[in-house]
Structure 1
Amino acid sequence: SHTTSKKESLDSNPSSGLTHNSNQLLKVLDHRDKVYEQLAKYLQLRNVIERLQEANPSELYMQVDLGCNFFVDTVVPDTSRIYVALGYGFFLELTLAEALKFIDRKSNLLTELSDSLTKDSMNIKAHIHMLLEGLRELQGLQNFPETPHY
């Protein structure tokens, strides 16, 4: 009866369960990679802000990418405030201190999300492992004839 429950837990086509889980795993890992990329951008911004606070320049000369690697020279007349991308095309003007607080909060949320996605990926991997073990067990049982039910 223990084997029957395992057999019932696998669908009529066990490979579809593996395919579904493999696809889910790829989606979760891809999402986690995107979260890591966002986190890296915020940490990079934090470093820039900290360097700005240390240097405390009255104005800043820099190059801005207008897109497609087309750069223009520009002057930032006031380095005490910065525009931070909130997402969905929204930007907020913040002081450097406010921006650092925002980055810390956002980084913590992204870290929690990446941890959660890592746990999800581990659960999916465990489920795939269980399916593979069930398939191996079923293949072993298929070598023997079923006992007739009278």
Structure 2
Amino acid sequence: MENSSIPHKVLQYETFLNETLRGDLQKLTKLRDKCYEEIAQYMQLQNVLERPEISDGKPLKAQVDLGCNFHAQAVITDPSKIFVCVGYGFYVEFTKPEAIVFIKKRTEYLNSNAQKLSKDMVSVRAQIRMVLEGLKELYGIHENLEQK
């Protein structure tokens, strides 16, 4: 390898590492965190639905998030049916048993998606490590050439 091509290769590897791999890792981390957040919300809803004090026909008091963590008191006159977000901003009206079945299926799907994202993150981390080792080698070669 020529002396002049080594700095060029180092620059290419550093650019690939900083712009591509680290960006991919950050995107995957955000997606996985979003999955875990959605799982937590569904699990919270399931816990509320499985409480014994929620019986059909009795009014229910609840705090409702109006947005930006601004909550208000609400009275649900008929808690026998609820609207559940099924994705992409769509809500479906479910009975309590139907909602629990949907929540279990949705959390299974989200868990498998989070596991896949975690595997992808491990792969990207391995690629980062490999590029760093390659850079170490190139720096070692470059240092050896300068010492001669």
TM-score by structure 2 length?
A: 0.82
CA contact (8 A) 2:10 2:138 kept: no
Distance 2:67 2:144 in 1: 66
RMSD between aligned residues = 2.2
Residues 12-31 of structure 1: per-residue CA shift (max 9 Å, x gap):
61101111101111111111
Per the alignment, residue 109 of structure 1 pairs with 109
CA contact (8 A) 1:11 1:17 kept: no
| Structure 1 gaps, min length 5 | 1-6, 146-150
Q: Which moved more, 1:55-64 or 1:87-96?
A: 55-64
Residue 13 (str. 1) matches residue 12 (str. 2): yes
Residue-pair matches, total: 136
Spell out the pairing of 1:1-150 with structure 2 (5 A cutoff). Answer: 13-19=12-18, 20-51=20-51, 54-55=52-53, 56=55, 58-68=58-68, 69=70, 71=72, 73-145=73-145
TM-score by structure 1 length?
A: 0.81
Distance 2:11 2:64 in 1: 58
Shift of 1:74: 3.2
Inter-CA distance 89–144: structure 2 relative to 1 (3 Å threshold): closer
Distance 1:13 1:67 in 2: 45
CA contact (8 A) 2:10 2:135 kept: no
